[in-house]
Structure 1
Amino acid sequence: MQSSSRVQQLYGRWTALLNRLQEDPKVAQVMNSRIGQYLSSHPFVALSVMLFSAMAALPFGLFLSFALVTLIMAAVGFVFFEAFLLFVGGVTLLCVLSGIGVFSVVVAVFINVVYTTSSSLLSCYNTRQAERSQSEEKDGGDDTSAETQ
């Protein structure tokens, strides 16, 4: 007897819950549509749709979570990868520019050394040539003057 009264209490709660659910304005709006009327007249199809929706919610939610996490990770990975590429490019540019600077300084020093050395050598050579010409003119000028006398 006690179990039948529990079943009746459970049935009463279930009926009250369904009545409250049907009185909800959103549910009433769906139930007044063609789909709601069709599902109301075909309870097996309604149960199938409800079970499919309930069972598909978890895989669909997992897929959406996976897609969202993948999208976020791809965006974050893209940002980090771009930052890494920019860092590598910047370091490479810095190294190349430093190498060009060092090369320019070495070439400039080499050219200055060659210029200074060659100008000093040419200056010495010109000075010696001038001294030789002057000494030859003195020696040669005396010889020509002695021959003419």
Structure 2
Amino acid sequence: MRANRSHPGVRGALMKFPVGQYLDKHPFVATTLLVFVVVSAIPIRFFLLLVLLASLAAFVGVVLLEGLVFSVGGFSLLCVLCGLGFVALAMSGTIIMPYVMVSSLIRKMHVNVIISSFPFEEIFTNNTVTPVDV
């Protein structure tokens, strides 16, 4: 302490402030303050480490929570899209089925009309086949 007091740069810097002037006049208070600062540095470091770890844990927790939300949201979206796919399949089957039935009936009716208008009796007369222009 005496070496610092005799150093002109340190003494000049300390003596500019009223606290420095007070500590220069009261060495016991200066020593107590120095011991307090040195001893309290360890708990302060532990507290800052705790704050840093808590902040890191909160950040990781937020990231994990965000990942959980994205995972649940993605799974929900997958379920909804699969359900919509099945609904689309059922609706397209419901829409296509009448189309197939109607087109099949129309084709059958068209074939029946052609067959009923076909001159079978003229072709098969006297058990002989005669060519007919169709």
TM-score exceeds 0.5:
yes
1:131-146 equivalences in 2 (<5 Å) = none
Q: Say which SS state the counterpart of residue 116 (structure 1) adopts.
A: helix
Identity, % of aligned positions: 32
Q: Normalization by structure 1: what TM-score?
A: 0.59
1:119-130 equivalences in 2 (<5 Å) = 119=102, 123=106
The alpha-carbon distance between structure 1 residues 18 and 42, as it changes in their structure 2 partners (threshold 3 A), is closer
Which structure shows the higher helix fraction?
1
Q: Distance in 1 between matches of 2:24 and 2:18?
A: 10
Structure with greater Cα Rg: 1
Higher relative contact order (CA closer than 8 Å, sequence separation 6+): 2
| Alpha-carbon offset, residue 63 of structure 1 | 0.5
Q: Given residue 49 of structure 2, which amino acid in structure 1 is its aligned partner? A: S
The alpha-carbon distance between structure 1 residues 102 and 24, as it changes in their structure 2 partners (threshold 3 A), is farther
In the alignment, is residue 79 of structure 1 matched against residue 79 of structure 2?
no
In the alignment, is residue 50 of structure 1 matched against residue 34 of structure 2?
yes
Runs of 5+ in structure 2 lacking a partner?
A: 114-134
Structure 2 residue aligned with 1:59, among 18, 35, 43?
Answer: 43
Q: CA RMSD in A?
A: 2.7
In the alignment, is residue 110 of structure 1 matched against residue 94 of structure 2?
yes
The alpha-carbon distance between structure 1 residues 109 and 27, as it changes in their structure 2 partners (threshold 3 A), is farther
Runs of 5+ in structure 1 lacking a partner?
A: 1-16, 131-149
Q: Given residue 35 of structure 1, which amino acid in structure 2 is its aligned partner? A: V
Q: Normalization by structure 2: what TM-score?
A: 0.65
For residues 26-54 of structure 1, the C-alpha deviation after alignment (integer angstroms, 9 at most, x for no partner) is 56412442111101111222122122212
In the alignment, is residue 36 of structure 1 matched against residue 9 of structure 2?
no
